[in-house]
């Protein structure tokens, strides 16, 4: 029986000072992308057409990896990817393995935090907490 790991992540990157040196986001990401028996995760880069905007790039990471048993190594790869950029505005990833559970990590206030949800009610309560703290 196949074991699938489902991944959805996004990184919003502020304008990178290193781009003036000719380093593209694709070069920073490289080719060391997690993979399963049927291929690797998809990584797409969106560049803001408004060159005066600080939020310059959005990098999405997504896919379904067959026979990839660990969500943890995907989370570690994602965090390592984020660390390659000079300034992260926002980042979040969920990696769910059908047999070994899921992890949800969010980058807030220059640090990584794990989120644990047992159901939809937890997500609604988390959103209320965020709105209350604003």
Spans of all domains in the chain? 4-133
What digits encode the pLDDT tens for the residues 13-22?
Answer: 887 554 545 5
Whether the predicted pLDDT of 33 surpasses 80: yes
What is the CATH number assigned to the segment(s) 4-133? 3.30.70
Neighbouring-strand partners of residue 64: 6
Those residues whose C-beta lies under 8 Å from the C-beta of residue 39, and which sit 6 or more positions away, are 63, 65
Q: How many CB atoms lie within 10 A of CB 88?
A: 16
Give me the pLDDT at residue 20, please.
47
What digits encode the pLDDT tens for the residues 70-97?
Answer: 888 899 999 999 888 878 889 999 999 8
Q: Are 16 and 56 in contact (CB under 8 A)?
A: yes
pLDDT mean across residues, the chain: 81
Q: What is the dihedral of CA 86, 11, 27, 20, to 10 degrees?
A: -40
Give me the pLDDT at residue 91, please.
94
Q: How far apart are CA 78 and CA 11, in angstroms?
A: 9
- Give the residue, 32 or 134, on which the prediction is more confident: 32
What digits encode the pLDDT tens for the residues 99-130?
Answer: 888 888 999 878 888 876 555 555 555 555 65
Instruction: State the first-to-last Cα distance of the chain, in angstroms, to the nearest integer.
Output: 46
Give me the pLDDT at residue 133, please.
59
Structure tokens at 56: 């310059």
């Amino acid at each position: 029986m196949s074991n699938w790991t489902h991944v959805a992540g996004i990184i919003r990157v502020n304008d990178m000072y290193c781009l003036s040196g000719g380093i593209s986001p694709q070069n920073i990401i490289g080719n060391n992308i997690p993979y399963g028996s049927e291929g690797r995760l998809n990584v797409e880069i969106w560049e803001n057409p408004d060159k005066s905007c600080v939020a310059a790039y959005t990098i999405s990471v997504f896919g379904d990896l067959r026979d990839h048993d660990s969500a943890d190594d995907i989370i570690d790869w994602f965090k390592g990817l984020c660390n390659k950029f000079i300034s992260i505005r926002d980042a979040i990833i969920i990696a769910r393995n059908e047999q070994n559970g899921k992890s949800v990590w969010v980058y807030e206030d220059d640090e990584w935090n794990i989120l644990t949800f047992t159901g939809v009610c937890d997500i609604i309560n988390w959103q209320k907490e965020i709105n209350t703290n604003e």
